[in-house]
Amino acid sequence: MFCGQFHHNLDEKNRFKVPSSFREELGTKVYLIKSPDSATNCIFMYSENGWNELYRQFNSGDQYNQETRRKTRKILSSVVYGEVDKNGRFTLNAGLKSAVGIGEELQIVGNNNHLELWSIAEWEKELGFFEEESTDDLNINF
């Protein structure tokens, strides 16, 4: 499980240090996709186990339905594979980085079974959304 948030700078090679509290759970093999939620402009980052679980869900969909195939195709064709190096650094794919507007800094957010990589501006917008919304619909007793 991933939770918490961390602010990081990218180096000249588009690398950032994966927070140490996430490294063991994340592992070295990771899979990235642009958020499939049209209202969310970030990158989802999955561990190998997390990705395998998500992939199984794709296989359980109705493969005879054209809309299902189109959506699956759109998401799976954009998957980027990468590896965390021995120093805990990860090189962010330039296409994904550009697609979500990440500059020299990024916000890394733990969200249950995956990490999210946000531009600072998009993360600040998302925080504004949190301020306006109630958590009552989560059905969680805090």
- Round to whole Å and give the CA distance between 9 and 67: 39
- Residue 115: phi and psi, rounded to 5, are -100, 155
- Round to whole Å and give the CA distance between 83 and 91: 8
Q: What is the pLDDT along the chain (142 residues), one digit of tens a residue?
A: 899 999 999 999 999 999 999 999 999 999 999 998 888 899 999 999 999 998 888 777 677 788 888 888 888 888 999 999 999 999 999 999 999 999 999 999 999 999 999 999 999 999 887 776 676 777 766 6
Give me the domains of the chain, ranges plus CATH numbers: 2-125 (3.40.1550.20)
- Round to whole Å and give the CA distance between 45 and 6: 14
- Round to whole Å and give the CA distance between 134 and 65: 36
In this prediction the pTM is 0.88
Sheet holding 80-83, edge to edge: 2-9, 105-112, 114-118, 43-47, 29-34, 80-83
Give the pLDDT of residue 58: 77
Give the pLDDT of residue 79: 93
Q: Which helix (H) or strand (E) holds 80?
A: strand 80-83
- Round to whole Å and give the CA distance between 94 and 96: 6
